[in-house]
Structures are given as structure tokens and as C-alpha cells.
Amino acid sequence: MNYRSAEGARLVEDGYRELLRDWPVPYEEVRVPTSQGETFAVVSGPPDAPPLVLLHGSAANAAMWAGPAGAWARRFRVVAVDMIGEPGLSAPSRPPLASGVYGPWLGEVLDGLGLGRVSVVGTSLGGWLGLEFAVAAPSRVERMVLTCPSGIGRQRYGKLLLALPFLPFGRPGQRVARRILLGPVSLPPESGYFRHKVAIDRYFRPRREKVPIVADLGRLTMPLLVVIGAHDAFLDSRETARRLAHLPNATVRLLPDAGHLLPPQTTETLAFLTG
């Protein structure tokens, strides 16, 4: 079971639905049948605009895109997908990340939505999912933006061990642990999404497996922007930059003062996608 209790699952879902009601532009909720169960997506923007697929990180859902979606939906048909096995409204199916299932599953979702060639924005685990899809089907990706993507540089565990001792000390300890793990950028504690993330952290059981390294980066022929934090506690950002350096179509931006949670990249992403 992906949740620690049925009541916890209900509280997380209720919080998610409340956030969706505040989506910044008119939207529709879409459910797509796939071989891994039903997939949920939030769709907004002009129906005839170029499609832009958004892929959230681990222990998250499409609500994380509510801020930038309002800006991007002026130029794109924005499709924010809930990844299977995460605390969204898609199926709880959670095949191993190394199973080769996830790239084809995303292809099924796009087929079900009638989308051929798309641009992709992914963060953290969603960045890995975007890579899996793009490496398998490069002709289907117009442009891609990844922020702190898993699957390129090695995972790191040192700062996780450093943060763990602070967790039992209530909210002050949790704030310290979040800063160690996520860096100086933080979510405003008064925001609805912050409260939703607290509920997810309390009730949801995140994946514990190692994220596979994507081997054949040379198949990424589309224009690619990767933004990473120099002090990422979870991923080796310098190895990420090194592995991408030989790709002539890749632009890598290393933010010197950032960790795994980056400052908003809304404007920079839009400029790249429309450039």
C-alpha cells in the first residue's frame, strides 16, 4: 500500500482536490486508460496550442505546477500528468523504476490524449521519466526542460544522514532538515501547497528504490535545457553537467547557490520553449 492508512490517503486526496480548485486558469480533468491503470491529468490552455507535458517529482502530483501553468498556458496546451504510484489521482501501480515500463506508459498516456510530438518539462523524478520517454522516442519530443533531473548524475545520501537526526524535534527540526535536503529555497509555510506536502510526507510511503541511470543520452536530439543546483543534496550535479557537456543540443545552467529545490524557472523555461 502506498499510504500508511486509508484515512491518510483520504486526507491527501482531499487536499489535492482543494488545490486543483485554485488552478490559475480554466482547466479540465482527464483520465486516460493505460496498461498500468487509469492516469489522471490536468489540462489547460488553448486546445489548438502546441502541447506541453509537465512531469512532477517524487512524492508529489500535478498541483506542484499550479504556479507556472498559468503563464505557460497562454502559449501552450498544458498537460500536467500524475505519475502512477505517486500521491496524485492516477493508479497506485508502482512497477520497479528499472522495469522499462515508465517510458512506454507515458507514451500510452500521450496516445490516449491524441498527442503526437510534445514539449516536456520535468523535475527530479519527473526529469528521469522525461528522459526515459525521450531516449525511447526522441522523434516525439520537440523540446525538453529538466530541473534537477534524476537519472543523469549519481544519487547522494550523505546529507540525508545529516538531516535525519533533526526530524524528531517537531516543526523546528523539520525546518532544519528541509533546508539541509532542499537548500536555501523553501516553500512558504502559509501556502496551500506547503500544507499539502506536509500531509504527503506524513501519510504517503515514498519510493525507496534507486533511480536508474539513463545510459544512452546521445539519443536526446531535441533542444534540451537542464537547470541544476550546485548544492543538490540528492544528486551529483557536477556529474550531471559533465555527462551532458558533449551534447551539442544541451544547455546546462548550474545555479551556484541552489540545492535540490530551485528558485522559480517559469520565465526561463517559457523563453527556452518558445525560442
Binned at pLDDT 50, 70 and 90, residue 157 comes out as: low
CB count, 10 Å around CB of 48?
6
Instruction: Give the chain's length.
Output: 275
Q: Is pLDDT above 90 for 148?
A: yes
Q: Are the CB atoms for 114 and 62 separated by under 8 Å? A: no
The pTM of this model reads: 0.93
pLDDT of residue 102: 98
Backbone angles phi, psi at 20, to 5 degrees: -65, -30
pLDDT digits 0-9 by tens, 200-237 = 989 999 999 999 999 999 999 999 999 999 999 889 99
Q: Is pLDDT above 60 for 257?
A: yes
pLDDT of residue 194: 87
Q: Is pLDDT above 90 for 51?
A: yes
Q: Is pLDDT above 80 for 170?
A: no
pLDDT of residue 163: 43
Q: Which helix (H) or strand (E) holds 196?
A: helix 192-203
Give CA–CA dist 54/99, Å, rounded.
22
All structural domains of the chain, each given as residue ranges with its CATH number in brackets, are 6-273 (3.40.50.1820)
Q: Is pLDDT above 50 for 161?
A: no
Percent of the chain with pLDDT over 70: 88
pLDDT digits 0-9 by tens, 95-112 = 999 999 999 999 999 999
Averaged confidence pLDDT in the chain: 91
Q: Are the CB atoms for 106 and 80 separated by under 8 Å? A: no
